[in-house]
Amino acid sequence: MSNFDRAYSNTVWLGIYKIVGLILVSLLILTVSYENANADKNGIIKIPKHDWSSQLVGAEVVGELMKMVGEKIEYVPINSKIVYQSMADGDIDIVHSAFGSSYTKALGSGGIEEILTHDAVSREDWWYPWYVERACPGLPDWKALGKCSAKFARADSDGKGVFIGGPVDWLKHDAEKIEALGMNFIVKNVDSAEAIWAELDAAVKQKKPIVIFNWSPNFIGAKYAGKFVNFPKYDPQCETNASWGINPNALYDCGNPANEHLKLAVNSDFKKNHPKAYKVIKKINFSSSDVDKMANYVDTDGLEVSHAAEQWFKDHKKKWSKWVK
């Protein structure tokens, strides 16, 4: 082989070595990046936070339980109506108080594992304090509101009764319910749970008729006696089939689900990604009293959410210590 041939051969092999080296380095970078991405995704448990006290405190209680078994957690503020789809997509890991039609719909679409049913029973709908029945005989039947709607009117409601609803993004379909049932009411949406309670406190102080959006369990049942309005019984078709129900031309001609147990659910990869945490969450079980107290610490005792969670742990050590064994 001539010197020229030998030099040419060395140059070719050197080029091949460089190309192979670049490929190996690229593969190494891709492998490390993939592993780091998975580590980031699988290493942190993302827990949603909404905008009512019992949920916020419960989220921190669950978060602290996860920390007890060595997990890292992140709290994610998120709308309660999109949280279930976010869990199915893997952007949220745990929802500790799942309920309602949006949850049922997301559960049926896949990507979510329902872990357990809490002892806590939930209901959310129109609610009024005890003295309102004197002003509006016939309650809690919803038809009574139609006969005495003027007693719930305000200066700016054109003679119509006013229902105090939660934030618009809670998506409770109260305006659709009013229209479907032919009620002489309008919805006044306020921007927080605290604003609902402020409206209620002011009305109770003066014994003025009021009807609000409320839910249980929470602290209000312990503070004021009252009742939920009895609307036509809920059926899933009420939200999807206009011909179902008392108004054959409208959806939402019914009440909300009553006596629905809260659920705990995770995204479908949770067990694989967080086996220790998975064992803990299978033991968690909140009662209605637990949820009441979580709300009460904040809304009555005035504790910050994190301090309320600490207080819950102090008051319920016998209960939660069994969950992390």
Instruction: Give which of 218, 215, 220 is closest to 198, Cα–Cα.
Output: 220
In the chain, % of residues over pLDDT 70: 87
Residue type, 150: A
pLDDT of 20: 44
In whole angstroms, what is the distance from residue 182 CA to residue 167 CA? 23
Band the pLDDT of 28: cuts 50, 70, 90. very low
pLDDT of 8: 44
Beta carbons of 124 and 256 less than 8 angstroms apart: yes
Selected residue with higher pLDDT from 123 and 14: 123
User: pLDDT by residue (tens digit) across 32-61?
Assistant: 344 333 433 558 999 999 988 899 999 999
As to burial, measured by CB atoms within 10 angstroms (0-12 exposed, 13-18 middle, 19+ buried), residue 283 is middle
Band the pLDDT of 259: cuts 50, 70, 90. confident
Band the pLDDT of 15: cuts 50, 70, 90. low
| CA distances for 266 relative to 68, 94, 107, 151, angstroms | 18, 4, 10, 45
pLDDT of 38: 40
pLDDT of 156: 93
**What angle separates helix 305-315 from helix 53-68, to the nearest 10 degrees?**
60
Band the pLDDT of 186: cuts 50, 70, 90. very high
Average pLDDT, the chain: 87
In whole angstroms, what is the distance from residue 87 CA to residue 266 CA? 7
- Residue 137 has which token pair? 């005989």
Q: Could you tell me where the DSSP H helices lie in 44-92?
A: 53-68, 83-88
Band the pLDDT of 80: cuts 50, 70, 90. confident
Sign of the C-alpha dihedral, residues 201, 204, 206, 212?
A: positive
Q: Would the CATH topology of 46-121+260-320 be identical to that of 123-239? A: yes
CATH of 123-239, one of 3.40.50.1110, 3.40.190.100, 3.30.420.40, 3.90.1210.10: 3.40.190.100
Beta carbons of 119 and 287 less than 8 angstroms apart: yes
Instruction: Flag whether the pTM goes above 0.75.
Output: no
Q: Which of 80-89, 100-109, 140-149, 181-190 has the lowest mean pLDDT?
A: 100-109
The DSSP bridge pattern shows strands 44-49 and 72-77 to be parallel
Longest dimension (CA), the chain: 113
User: pLDDT by residue (tens digit) across 200-247?
Assistant: 999 999 999 999 999 888 888 778 989 999 999 999 899 999 999 999
Beta carbons of 215 and 122 less than 8 angstroms apart: yes
pLDDT of 40: 38
Beta carbons of 224 and 177 less than 8 angstroms apart: no
- Give the mean model confidence (pLDDT) for residues 109-128: 92
pLDDT of 61: 97
pLDDT of 75: 97
- Give the mean model confidence (pLDDT) for residues 120-125: 89
Q: What is the domain partition of the chain in residue ranges?
A: 46-121+260-320, 123-239
pLDDT for 2 beyond 70? no
- String of DSSP letters for 203-257: HHHHT---EEEEEESSTHHHHS-EEE-BPSPP-GGGGT-TTSSS-TT-S--S---
User: pLDDT by residue (tens digit) across 130-162?
Assistant: 999 999 999 999 999 999 999 999 999 999 999
Q: Which CATH class is domain 46-121+260-320?
A: alpha beta
